[in-house]
Amino acid sequence: MATLAQEIFGKIQKTISNYVIDRLREIELMTVALLSRGHMLIEGPPGTAKTLMAKLFAEVLGLKFKRIQMTPDMIPSDIIGAKIVDPKTGELRTVLGPIFANIVLIDEINRASPKTQSALLEAMQERCVTIEGDTYNLPEPFMIIATQNPWETEGVFPLPETQIDRFSLAINLDYPGLDVELAIVAKDHELKGLEPRFSPIISRDDLVKAINEASEVHVERKIMKYIVEIVQRTREIPEIMLGVSPRTSVILLRTAKALAAIRGRKYVIPDDVKYLAPYVLWHRIRLNPRVAGYGTPRENYAKIVNIINEEILRKIRVPW
């Protein structure tokens, strides 16, 4: 019998994949992040459907979507809101910022200053924001999808470790091959250059039920130990300058439960953990400078993924 999460994912995948070509993996991981109450970081060059994918994802679920374009001159109140004096009444009133949405796309997150980036920390971890001493809860469900171009070096501010650690999953996009790009061009011609528009395919209540369902997926203690061993192994490898935090173990557990749910199971298996481990780990890992050298972002990404696969996943005994 299919789980509610599996039914929802099937509808999301079927609907979005008709318009966002060759992004099935990304749609699946986005669903995992949402059902595990997490957030997602997408690295890649411009024009690879990051914004469109996030926008359509929110539309098919009937969720409120906001896009925030980060710039160096932005300040925290541009994101979370502020208290202002009403010119008509002279009273102080609160104006909520664009962070008050279900799915928030933070475009080019590394273009904002560290002070502005820090405005996201409370929202991502506590699901609330503080405006001049008063705390306001964010809507449920709530998810941030952030993008950045790793190739840009001017006018950008690298994300601090505390910020990176808040993202449950991260994916690295590349340009499509010839056949896929041809399909993208043909789809745009079919749509006459217009963006697709969707009606919600599920109710908000069903989505909240699916999130709760994912949180109740059974996990054997042996698999919990397997998760912790994977995370602790990152702190022992000489090529890695900085291992990952205990929060990573919790995130790998939560996302594995969500993946099991959308694959129609009420229990986690080791393959769920192995599949997600690279997406949970790679953006948190910092290579030893001797290993990183002067490699390009793409080269260093490949080195990190190879270490995860060869030095961690292959060398740790699978529970069964």
Query: Does residue 203 share a domain with residue 221?
Result: no
Query: Does residue 124 share a domain with residue 231?
Result: no
Q: How far apart are CA 1 and CA 257, in angstroms?
A: 17
Find the domain containing 58 and state its range: 1-207
Query: Does residue 202 share a domain with residue 61?
Result: yes
Domain count for the chain:
2
Query: Does residue 107 share a domain with residue 32?
Result: yes
Please check whether residue 272 is in contact with residue 220, taking contact to mean a CB–CB distance below 8 angstroms.
no
Segments in 36-127 forming alpha helices (H) = 50-60, 77-80, 114-117, 119-126
249 lies in some domain? yes
Q: Which of 150, 182, 207 is the last residue of a domain?
A: 207
Structure tokens at 185: 């061009």
Query: Does residue 191 share a domain with residue 226?
Result: no
Query: Does residue 140 share a domain with residue 239?
Result: no
The one-letter amino acid at 6? Q
User: pLDDT band at residue 1, thresholds of 50, 70 and 90?
Assistant: low
Question: What CATH code is carried by the domain that includes residue 278?
Answer: 1.10.8.80
212 lies in some domain? no
162 lies in some domain? yes
Q: Which tens digit of pLDDT belongs to each residue from 174-201?
A: 899 999 999 999 999 999 988 888 889 8
Question: What CATH code is carried by the domain that includes residue 97?
Answer: 3.40.50.300
Query: Does residue 271 share a domain with residue 237?
Result: yes
What one-character-per-residue DSSP string does 255-296 give? HHHHHHHHTT-SB--HHHHHHHHHHHHGGG-EE-HHHHTT--
Query: Does residue 260 share a domain with residue 185?
Result: no
pLDDT at site 9: 95
Which residues are within 8 A (CB) of 313 and not within 5 positions of it... i.e. 6 or more apart? 230, 274, 277
Query: Does residue 193 share a domain with residue 58?
Result: yes
185 lies in some domain? yes
Q: What are the two backbone dihedrals, phi and then psi, of residue 290, each rounded to the nearest 5 degrees?
A: -65, -35
Query: Does residue 319 share a domain with residue 273?
Result: yes
Q: Which tens digit of pLDDT belongs to each residue from 148-184?
A: 987 776 778 888 888 999 999 999 988 999 999 999 9
Would the pLDDT of 139 be above 80? Answer: yes
Question: pTM surpassing 0.85?
Answer: yes
Mean pLDDT of 243-253: 96
Query: Does residue 128 share a domain with residue 110?
Result: yes
